[in-house]
Amino acid sequence: MCGTLDYLAPEKVENRDHVHAVDNWTLGILCYEFLYGNPLFEAESQKDTFKRIVKINLSFPPQPNVSAEARNLISQLLVKDPSKRLSLLRG
């Protein structure tokens, strides 16, 4: 498996087939890290990081103050089901 552990989409962690939606997941992770300054799913071990990714317990700390629009974008990108994840493709 390749990639930064914290950025792997659930379908990659679970060794399922994946499509372009994994990139949208990674964009959501990057947005979160840029705005909040820390990794969302990082844990002490690889196993625990993977558990957090698959569980997706998404929460937004009160500080720093991040707009509702930014939180909404992140929430739409970090959806476990890739078919329901926000798509950046024009249709």
- The residue extents of the domains of the chain are 5-77
CATH architecture label of 5-77: Orthogonal Bundle (1.10)
pTM score, whole prediction: 0.88
CB 13 within 8 A of CB 73: no
Structure token pair of residue 75: 């929430």
Residue 60 phi, psi (nearest 5):
-115, 120
pLDDT 10s digit of each residue in the chain, 91 long?
A: 555 788 999 999 999 988 889 999 999 999 999 999 999 999 999 999 999 999 998 999 999 999 999 999 999 999 999 999 998 776 5
Residue 36 CB partners (closer than 8 Å, separation 6+): 60, 61, 64, 66
